[in-house]
Every structure is written in C-alpha cells, then in structure tokens.
Chain A
Amino acid sequence: MTEHRSAESRASHDEWSDTPEQRYADAPCGLLTTTPDGILTEVNDTFLRWTGYSRTSVIGTPFEQLLTVGSHVFYETRYLPVLRLAGEVRELSLTLRCAGGGTLPVLVNATTHLGPDGRPRLVRTAIFDSTQRHSLERELLVARRVAEASEARVRVLQDAGAAFGACDSEESVAAALVDCARQAFRATAAAVVLIEESGDMRLAAGDHPLLEALAGTVVRRPEADALSNGRAVTITSLQDATSRFPDVADALRATRLEALSVIPLIGGERSVGLLLCFYGRQRGFDDDVLALQAALALQAVQVFERVRLHAELENLALYDPLTGLANRKLLQHTLGAALVSAERKHTPMAVVFLDLDGFKAVNDGLGHLAGDAVLEQVADRLRAVVRGSDTVARFGGDEFVVVCEDINERDARQLADRIRLAVRRPLPGVAGSFAVTASVGIALHRPAAGAATTVADLLQAADSSMYVSKSAGKDGITVVTV
C-alpha cells in the first residue's frame, strides 16, 4: 500500500514536475537563441506554437527572415546596432511573419552573451505576444496622428494670428507669413511676393531661390497660373515640373529644390501677392495641407488689408485732402525733425511762410469752388518751384509753409522770390480776372550753442515776417533771423 501510494505519488509528481527543460519549452513567452549574426539555433515550443513554424523549418535561418518588411528595416537600422553596441535591447516592437501567412506583433528583449574570449557567443531573446497591446497602440498612434494634425492646424493659425497681430507694415506681415509657412509646411525656403499698384511684383520677405534663375524668362510660370485661377499651384517633383513648367524645373534643379507650392493671396477683388514655399525633396500635397495653406493665406490677406487700410488712414491724417500737401500735423513733425537735424549738423535752415493776397476776393466773387481751384493751383506751383528736399505744407486757409533744410539766406531769398513770382502769375480758367499774390515771411535759423529754438518759435517768427510784408504793401518778402 505504502509502496504503491508512493509510486503513484511519484508518478503524479513526475507528471507535474517542473523541470528546467519544461520551464524552457512551455515558458509563457517565446524564447530563442541565435548566433551573434542572428541565425536561430534554438527555439522553445511556445514560439513554435505562436508562429506555426516547425522546429526544423526555423533552426538555421536568420531571425530577421521571420520579420515583416517594416520590422526588418527597424531591426537592421536600430535593433541590431543597439544590441551590438549596448549588448542588449529592451521592449522593442517587431512584427513576426507566421507560417500561415498571418502576422504576430511582439515585444522583444534580447541579451548578448560573451564567450570566454570576450567576444559575442550567442544572443538570447525573449518575445512577448503584444497583439492586444499592439492594436491598442495602433489606435493610440492613429489617434495621436489625427489629434496632432488638427492640433498642428490650430496651432499654425493661432501662431500666425499672434505674429500678425504685432505687424504694422506690409513688410512685417510678409516676414511673419514667411516664418509661419516655413515652420508649418517644413519648407526649405519661403517667400512672399507682393503686387505693387503699378502691377510690378516685389519680393517683400523671405528667400526666393528661383528669382535669379528665372529672371528674364517669359515662359508661363506657376505664379501667373496661381493668380489667374485664384488657386494654389503645386509642383510635386522635378518630373512634374519638367512636364508642366520646364524652365522652373531647370531652376529648381540648379537650386537643389524638388517641389514648390504657390499660394495666391487674394482679398476680395484685389490680388495682394503670392506665398511661395520651396521644398528640398518631392512632396505630395494632400487636402489637409492645401486647406491649411489656403487658411493661412486667407488670414494673411486680411492682415495685409488691415495694414494697407491703416496706411491709407494714416495718409489721410497727415495730408491736406484738397491740395495733397502736408497738413499742419505733418508740418509740425517735419519741422521738428528738421530742427533737430540742423542743431546736430550745425547747418542753417529756413521756414518760409506765405499768405495769399487777394484770395478773399476770389472766394467772395466766384465762390468757394473757385477758391479751392486757386488753392490747388497754388499748391502745384509751390511744389514746382521748391527744392526736392523741401516740404510744402498747407498751414490753413490760404496760408502755406515751406520747410527748407540746409539753406543759407541768399538761397532762401531766391526760393522765396521764385514762390512770389510763381504765385502772382495769372490764373487763366480758374480766376483769370483776379490778381492773386503772396506776402512772404522767412524765418532763418542758424543753430547756436546754448540757444534753444522751438518749432513754435520758428513758425511764430515766419508768421510775423509775413505780416511785415503784408503791411508793407503785399507781394513782398521779409527775412528775420532766429
């Protein structure tokens, strides 16, 4: 009995024993041994069960031959180098090709074991089925890509909005757009070309590598297409360029570029210009990229419009709308700057103040429209007789001021005389039967140490001189030195 029972217990013990061999064969992971070159020398049953291979079919073959193409490349470029250099790899993700044609995603740990001579003798590898984790990871990766794509889109437009917000000129908008586009589209170079009122194109910001290469060519260019169609033109490769824009293909080749996108900047009726992105290798432009380019362009166009409108308003605020001359505000500014410059350079300057004689009679006799026509005529004559560097301003009513930098008394008198003679010429067709002349006062300023002269001082002095001329019989010149 006792013997029998002990035999029975021994038998069951044998059956349930956990020998090292069994532990290896049935381990809850695939276990492999390879040579340092990756030739399989031993595999356990778990590995064979998972992959469906027979032992004889895998022993002697290189491990990498059991991998999918993508995994094989990762194995060669990353797995093996790290294994050789570090002696081990941890938790790398590979995909095995199974006997039945299916695949098995696995996580792999491997360790290199050295022989007595210190050289690699064999590699032990453990693989873990990561099917569940793999599909989860795939979902995460896909989700991450989608999230990143939409986040990137939002970020690009937000960053652009922030950059554009600080812009106050076309140049600064163009520069911000170039920066945003280069980053957003990973472009090797980017450029913004603006269309002048004359119709000429002007490089406003960025690098346009093709500008020189294409100078002088009259062949159809992607820019013209983009503007006339109002849609982006993309060149995806040199081959694409060769068939559609041969001269562009040559220019791209010469500048080591392979792809190009040209996005028109069009606001309402008006073409503002173009955003060009240049790429160092061939590019596919999917709908997302095209949509983002269009959104960025639209955003930029709005800012270009704002800046241009602002400039127009600023223009209105500084110039007299009737005559186009500087208004009082711009006069103050210009005169202030001239004064500072004269003090710094120790050069004399002059302020010429003139008031029209006989203007009231025109207004009273012919009406305000005729008066306006006289003022316009006088403004044109003033512009014609002053020096290029002088500033002519309408001070108010029928009063005008000319700011002359770097001028001596003799030249100032001559200038004032030219003005006097120009004004007294007849006004045929405007106020032909009326005599209009100018009473002129000159405030000449010679900078001297210690004497602080202000804009108001100069204007006051010139105004007073003008009154002296007026009381002395009009159509004359009086000079005072300040």
Chain B
Amino acid sequence: MVQKNGSTPAGVRLRNNVHVSGNPSGRPLIFAHGFGCSQEMWRDVVPAFAADYCIVLFDHVGAGDSDLSSYDYGKYDSLHGYADDVLEVMAELDLHDAVYVGHSVSSMIGVLAATRDPARFGALALVCPSPRYTNVDDYVGGFEQSEIDGLLDALDSNYLGWSATMAPVMMGNADRPELGQELTTSFCKTDPDIASHFAHVTFLSDNRNDLGRVSTPTLILQSEHDVIAPLPVGEYVHGMISGSTFVVLPISGHCPNLSAPGLLATEIRAFLA
C-alpha cells in the first residue's frame, strides 16, 4: 500500500528530517528554524545543551533535507500546517514537558502548537518573534504594507529570479563543481517555489490573537536592534502572553542563534534553571 510520508511514524521523521542527539535521558529540547534557512541555524547553540538535554532538530517541509514531495500548498498556506507537523514530530518521539525553542516565524508556529496541545510543552523560548509584520491601526509591526509587498518582491527576485538560478548556494545544485560540494551546496537548501510561498505565509500571517491563549511558561528573547522584529513587537508579544519573561539581548540583527549563540544559550538556560 502506498502511503504518503507523514501518515506513518517513520514518515514523520523522514518528512521533517528529524535528528535526535544529546543526552537521551535529558529533558527534551526541540529547536525550530525560521524562514530562509534550516536546522543548521542551531549549529552553534546546540553544544551548550548537549550534555543534559535530549536535543531534537528538524527541518520544516520545504527546507533543508525535508521531503519536498510532502509539500502541500493548501496545508502549508498557514502556520497551522507547520504547527501540525511540530505536534506530529513531538508525538512520534513521545515528547513531554518539552522545551520548544523557535526562531523568528517558528516562534509563532510554537505558539500555535503549544495552544493546541499544551500537555507536551514545558516551556517556550521565542527568539525574535513577531505575530504580525505589517503595521495596522495602533499595532506596530515594523513594516508598512507597501514595504511588505516590496520585500516579497525582493525575496522572489532572489528565490525565483535570474540570480537564483545563477547561485548554487540557493539551489543546492551541483552545476558549479568548482565551488565544491562540501560547504556551499549543502547549507540552507531551499526549494525556490516553496521559499516564495513560505515567505508569503510568514510575512502575511496575523497571529496576534493566538498569543493570549498561551499557557506554557514563555521566554521572549528580543534583539535590541532588529529590523524584522523590532523592540515594540517583542514588547507586544510579552504583553499578550501573561506571565512571560522578556529579555532584550544587547545585539543587532535577527539571528542571535548565529551571531550570539553563547548569549542565547545562557539566557535560555537561566530561564529553565
């Protein structure tokens, strides 16, 4: 019988390219990568937890070494489809009291998953979260609608445009053998069509109403200077998730998991202590 990946337990691991490492008897710690990259984003953060946590890494469908044939445009047209996958991965590994660390859009994916099935979650660490990127009424998301449109255009020209086909880094293809396969072709593989769709879903979703339903202890890690998720957005998330802890990291940029992995790990450990 032919079964689509995801319908069987083995399929879930394959579909999301799940990797378990660290201390098998430790508390589960699941890392979810954001838009544009893959589980490799956590490379420099993982070692700080390997001794005492059971570490779960995975790729969202469409990213990294996930199973592209499992991509369903209807399912992944909202973050709920990704949240379904997170819950399936956690069910497959039978995780309870898990610490979920989500970067960028995966913060919201974690919020959706944790409100759906709080029993599996012990803590949420949201790294540079934003529930909505566009400004509306009194809400400051950081972008005007026109800027979001321009942004999606800019993403398309890299993911779908000429330069994408010229850049083996983007495609993970090997038609430029002189670049060597060892590094450039393997990092952050992304299917261009899926990346474009994921960008639309990421930057056009509005999950502000879901924040108030979080009952899991939550840490919000805010970069001091972050154009994608600026300070007021982090403050908003903090205000909406009652009892949450808000930490502003004295850094610039949207990817502290790469630019300040040690600091990030220290803050997460302090929260969990």
Contact = CB atoms under 8 A, between A and B. Distances in A.
A189 B153 contact: no
A187 B74 contact: yes
Contacts of B50: none
A280 B81 contact: yes
B34 A188 contact: no
A73 B154 contact: yes
A80 B167 contact: no
A384 B225 CA distance: 85
A417 to B, nearest CB: 54
Contact of A137 (B143, B162, B169, B259): B162
B238 to A, nearest CB: 21
Nearest to B150: A70
Contact of B161 (A64, A89, A141, A282): A141
A38 B259 CA distance: 11
Contacts of B188: 78, 81-82, 85-86
A19 interface: no
Nearest to A39: B252
B249 interface: no
A84 B73 CA distance: 30
A182 B201 CA distance: 17
Given A186-B74, A186-B77, A85 B161 contact: no
A237 B206 CA distance: 10
Interface string A218-254: 0000000000000000000110000000000000010
Contacts of B201: 281
How big is the A interface, by class?
35 or more
B158 A92 contact: yes
Contact of B169 (A84, A89, A182): A89
A471 interface: no
Max count, chain A CB within 10 A of own CB: residue among B79, B81, B150, B161: B161
B173 interface: no
Interface in B238-262: 252-255, 258-259
A281 B204 contact: yes
Given A82-B169, A82-B187, A91-B166, A280 B77 contact: yes
B75 interface: yes
A183 B73 contact: yes
Interface in B205-253: 205-206, 209, 227-228, 252-253
B255 A186 contact: no
Given A73-B155, A137-B157, A84 B258 contact: yes
Nearest to A95: B154
Nearest to A258: B78
A329 B145 CA distance: 67
Interface string B154-191: 11111011110011111000000001000110011000
Interface string A32-53: 0000011000000000000000
Contacts of A80: 253, 255, 258-259
A452 to B, nearest CB: 38
A137 B253 contact: no
A343 interface: no
A281 B161 contact: no
Contacts of B18: none
Contacts of A13: none
Given A82-B188, A85-B187, A281-B78, A92 B37 contact: no
A88 B170 CA distance: 12
Nearest to B227: A72
A183 B74 contact: yes
A403 B170 CA distance: 72
B41 interface: yes
Given A82-B187, A188-B81, A279-B78, A90 B253 contact: no
A80 B251 CA distance: 15
Contacts of A186: 73-74, 77, 197
Give the one of A38, A72, A82 with max B CB within 10 A.
Answer: A82
A81 B41 contact: yes
A91 B227 contact: no
B92 interface: no
Interface in A294-319: none
A93 B165 CA distance: 11
A369 interface: no
Interface in A53-68: 62, 64, 68
B77 to A, nearest CB: 5
Contact of A71 (B78, B152, B154, B187): B154
Contacts of B227: 64, 69, 72-73, 76
Contacts of A238: 209
Nearest to B260: A37
B204 A85 contact: no
B75 A188 contact: yes
A68 B168 contact: no
Interface string A121-137: 00000000010011011
Q: Name the 5 nearest CB pairs between A and B, nearest first.
A: A280-B78, A70-B154, A77-B36, A93-B163, A70-B151
Given A77-B255, A137-B163, A188-B77, 12 more contacts: A70-B147, A73-B154, A74-B155, A77-B37, A77-B104, A80-B253, A81-B37, A85-B40, A90-B167, A93-B158, A189-B74, A238-B209
5 contacts: A69-B143, A73-B154, A76-B227, A140-B161, A141-B160
